[in-house]
Amino acid sequence: MYTKREFIRAIKENEGIIYKVARLYTNSTEDQKDVYQDIVYQLWKSYPSFKATSKISTWMYRVALNTAISNLKKEKRKGTRVSIDNFLLNKIDQVDTAMEERITLLYAHIKKLSIVEKGIILLHLEGKNYDEIATITGFTVTNIGTRLARIKNKLKSQINK
| Dihedral (CA of 91, 92, 93, 98) sign | positive
Q: What is the dihedral of CA 119, 106, 22, 14, to 10 degrees?
A: 80
Distance in angstroms (rounded) separating the CA atoms of residues 61 and 65: 6
Distance in angstroms (rounded) separating the CA atoms of residues 89 and 111: 14
What is the set of domains in the chain, with CATH numbers?
A: 1-84 (1.10.1740.10), 92-161 (1.10.10)
Beta strands in 44-159 (DSSP E): none
DSSP state of 20: H
Interhelix angle for 15-24 vs 98-110, to 10°? Answer: 70
Is the pTM of the predicted complex or chain greater than 0.85? Answer: no
Which parts of the chain register pLDDT below 70?
A: 1-2, 76-96
Neighbours of 130 (CB within 10 A): 17
Q: What is the pLDDT of residues 15-37, one digit of tens each?
A: 998 999 998 888 888 889 999 99
Q: What is the pLDDT of residues 81-104, one digit of tens each?
A: 555 455 445 544 444 577 778 888
